[in-house]
Structure 1
């Protein structure tokens, strides 16, 4: 039976992302994360760490504290770093991380989508893994090749180009297309009577990238094919990270939450302390129109 946290609620659906525990300062942030209620679930929207050992340390710690932890991979989890003893690439690396998560009780995009029965529910909570396909190109660049060439010319190139291998797919775009198609089928097969909470590391819509310091970086941030998923799959809320710009925005009446911690050099400039868990359900009181 769900237990009250003392406020009348029976658990919370909380979210965070971009923990980047390779940084000692961020490790300290993770060590301080605690549930607000014994029944709290935690959504972790990717970029936990860069090596398998870092990812396991953080997720194991969180899984021991929260009633349920759900994880979606980010690009950093998929990097194949020379310093990582786990040398797997692409799909094989992702499968290894899925096995690791299952061993410690963390829900992955490959598992059945659980139903949140607490306040604001019931809703189907779906951790997603969708990648990007270079469709979010700057104006005036009609092909991915042209946009990528401009990124190299200006020096604004995502590290994925050197460390995120798509094996056995021929490209990251092809891997993205396969992930989008398979995930859409699974979401279509869910219980249609229940709304969803969708969690993906990369944003599902392009609009949040409009405030990036370098707009050309948007090509590594998502895919145009998911722009209507919040309506198509009846989302009560959408959770994402990747941009390192935590804020709340609304599209078609649906709440989108960017829940990144980010790098120390970023969060140390903010007016609020790092590691603030964002409550997804029940819906927070007094939501700001954009930033938080």
Structure 2
């Protein structure tokens, strides 16, 4: 009997926290064996914890898709020379576990990862944010990527933008594709981080691809809404201290 493949989404699981790694380990080992998972970045800066996560999700889902988040590319504790070399290592690990890091068809749907970073298209970097934002200390880039905008442009240039022939297109990124996805109730004191949330170029790319559903992470503000004809979903696990987040898997497509 045919069983429809569902698509689940999850991001920002931060398994550096034992509570989060335990939550992942407690997911059913039988309920999702015919399903797909988009894992939209920020597992851990630890290679061993990322590998344990890959082992866990590959046991539970038939297909897993992944893009790295900023935490995944931190190098201060992992020994990688640069964040780009760590990115290469993560891609090798994905190939080892059969995790999809390039565009792939499931039935009449094409699922397309979009790499990215932030480029200050959501606002200017303040001295306060420059002092506090951990990426500036924990990522290390090669000399040719001199600015944060260079980093963003490098990752965006890696994305395949060939128009899809599939009936449905689902895209996903770690970084936020447009700032109006952030709800109006966010206090002004927390909006200081908006410049490092993402890039408008990600939204331009997903629309060029004809995406009808885009999954993202990074903000730790879960959303499911439609803007200008595209459905945007963020389903972050977040930190244990973020008790207001409903920590769950979210099914976004019932039948791929």
Q: Which runs of 5+ in 1 are unaligned?
A: 5-9, 138-143, 284-292
Partner of 2:230: 254
Give the paired residue count. 250
Alignment partners' CA distance in 2, 1:221 and 1:40 = 29
* Segment drifting more, 157-166 vs 29-38: 29-38
Matches within 5 A, 1:250-289: 250-266=226-242, 268-270=243-245, 272=246, 274=247, 276-282=248-254
Kindly provide the CA deviation profile for residues 162-184 of structure 1, in whole angstroms up to 9, marking residues without a partner as x. 1122224222310211222331x
Alignment partners' CA distance in 2, 1:77 and 1:103 = 17
Alignment partners' CA distance in 1, 2:21 and 2:128 = 36
Match of 1:70 among 49, 56, 65: 65
Runs of 4+ with >6 A deviation: none
Q: TM-score, normalised by structure 2?
A: 0.90
Pair 1:56–1:249, CA change in 2 (3 A): same
Q: TM-score, normalised by structure 1?
A: 0.79
Comparing both chains, which one has the higher relative contact order based on Cα–Cα distances under 8 Å and sequence gaps of 6 or more? 2
Kindly provide the CA deviation profile for residues 139-179 of structure 1, in whole angstroms up to 9, marking residues without a partner as x. xxxxx4xx332534xx6x32111112222422231021122
Matches within 5 A, 1:1-292: 3-4=2-3, 10-34=4-28, 36-82=31-77, 84=78, 86-108=79-101, 111=102, 113-117=103-107, 122-137=108-123, 144=124, 147-152=125-130, 157-168=132-143, 169-183=145-159, 186-187=160-161, 189-211=162-184, 212-213=186-187, 214-266=190-242, 268-270=243-245, 272=246, 274=247, 276-282=248-254
1:80 Cα offset (Å): 1.0
CA RMSD in angstroms comes to: 2.0
Contact 1:3/1:38, CA 8 A, preserved across alignment: no
Q: Secondary structure at the match of 2:170?
A: strand
Instruction: Find the structure with the greater CA-based Rg.
Output: 1
Q: Which runs of 5+ in 2 are unaligned?
A: none
Alignment partners' CA distance in 2, 1:63 and 1:162 = 32
Kindly provide the CA deviation profile for residues 228-265 of structure 1, in whole angstroms up to 9, marking residues without a partner as x. 33432211200011111112121112110011000000
Alignment partners' CA distance in 1, 2:179 and 2:83 = 25
Alignment partners' CA distance in 1, 2:183 and 2:42 = 21
Pair 1:105–1:282, CA change in 2 (3 A): same
